[in-house]
Amino acid sequence: MEAVQQQLKRRKRQKRKLEEEDAASAAESEAGGEGGGEEICCQRSRQALAREVRAKVQVLERTFSWRFADRAAAKRATHILAELAKDEKVVNVIVEEGAVPALVKHLQEPPPPLGSEGSANEGERPFEHEVEKGSAFALGLLAVKVSAVVLLYSLCEGEN
């Protein structure tokens, strides 16, 4: 429980930091500085976006289990990646940060917990199919880029 609270606090800090960076970028662009200011602004927001995507990829890489907290975090990460992937300008950043292999991993259910056979908790499957659907949706949005399709194909071929 305490770990979940710490994770929520960390997310709030990260969100606040991203909002502050966005506000600073907007203020700079409204001030209308020199011609190179727009490039710097775009570079900063690209870096912030890359950090956000990297954080979600890391969540997906470490949360492949049936634990409620893991499933909730994975569901949230797939949802955020899908929302970001709706903007075609962002797709390259998502692919470059390694989201495709992490999303492919979550297309299937995690293995059952050890020692769960015959236990009372055997039927508990938090967010059953939600993470898998979120991964499939995000991958579908990422497939607008040829590089993502090639990476998906190579990952699928590697499993067969």
**Residue 22: domain span:** 2-26+38-111+126-159
Six-digit token pair at 121? Answer: 């908790």
Closest CA to 73 of 88, 59, 90: 59
Yes or no: say if 56 and 99 are a contact pair by the CB < 8 Å rule: yes
> Is residue 145 one of the residues assigned to a domain?
yes
Q: Find the length of the chain.
A: 160
Six-digit token pair at 44? Answer: 């900063």
Yes or no: say if 49 and 83 are a contact pair by the CB < 8 Å rule: no
Structural domains in the chain (count): 1
> Is residue 118 one of the residues assigned to a domain?
no
H-helix or E-strand spanning residue 94: helix 91-96
Q: Specify the pLDDT at position 108.
A: 93
Six-digit token pair at 31? Answer: 């001030």
Q: Specify the pLDDT at position 119.
A: 46
pLDDT by residue for the chain (160 residues), tens only, comes to: 677 777 767 777 776 666 666 555 554 444 444 444 455 567 789 999 999 999 999 999 999 999 999 999 999 999 999 999 998 889 989 999 999 999 999 999 998 876 655 444 556 788 889 999 999 999 999 887 756 677 777 877 776 5
Q: Specify the pLDDT at position 83.
A: 95
Q: Whole-model pTM above 0.75? A: no
Q: Specify the pLDDT at position 135.
A: 96
Q: Specify the pLDDT at position 34.
A: 44
56/111 Cα distance (integer angstroms):
21
Q: How many angstroms separate the Cα of 126 from the Cα of each of 129, 141, 148?
A: 9, 25, 29
In the three-class reduction of DSSP (H, G, I as helix; E, B as strand; rest coil), residue 39 is classed as: helix
> Is residue 83 one of the residues assigned to a domain?
yes
> Is residue 121 one of the residues assigned to a domain?
no
